[in-house]
Amino acid sequence: MDENKVDLFLMTKGKYFRSEHLMQIRDRLRRREDSDMGLLHALQLHDPTLLLIVSILVGHFGIDRFMIGDTGLGVLKLITCGGLGIWTVVDWFLIMGLTRDKNMERLQTFIY
């Protein structure tokens, strides 16, 4: 893929991934064809900041977990009302990292 397109993707979507993964993503994307760029932009990546806001506002219902694809944990969090509030508070600190990890998993299915 063209180096400018890869850099543009990383500038616009870099906050969706952990910083230690950015060089690996850059290297893998450079090996892809230019025609794959449309598929790359079609990936459903979640904004970690948005998920933090959702977690703060309605995290006790498990909506944050449902949004990142952890359906089982979302149901469990819903049934227990966020682990009686404890799990909700813990997720405020973890949800951004979990979102970035899930985004990396989605990207890896495209890259590899």
The pLDDT of residue 3 is 86
- Return the residue matching tokens 């948005």: 50
pLDDT higher than threshold 80 for residue 24: yes
At residue 110 the predicted structure's pLDDT band, cuts being 50, 70 and 90, is confident
What distance in Å separates the CA atoms of residue 68 and residue 64, rounded to the nearest whole number?
A: 7
Give the H/E segment covering residue 61: none
What's the whole-number mean pLDDT along residues 24-28? 91
The pLDDT of residue 87 is 92
Longest pairwise C-alpha distance within the chain: 50
Name residue 20's amino acid. Answer: E
The pLDDT of residue 79 is 95
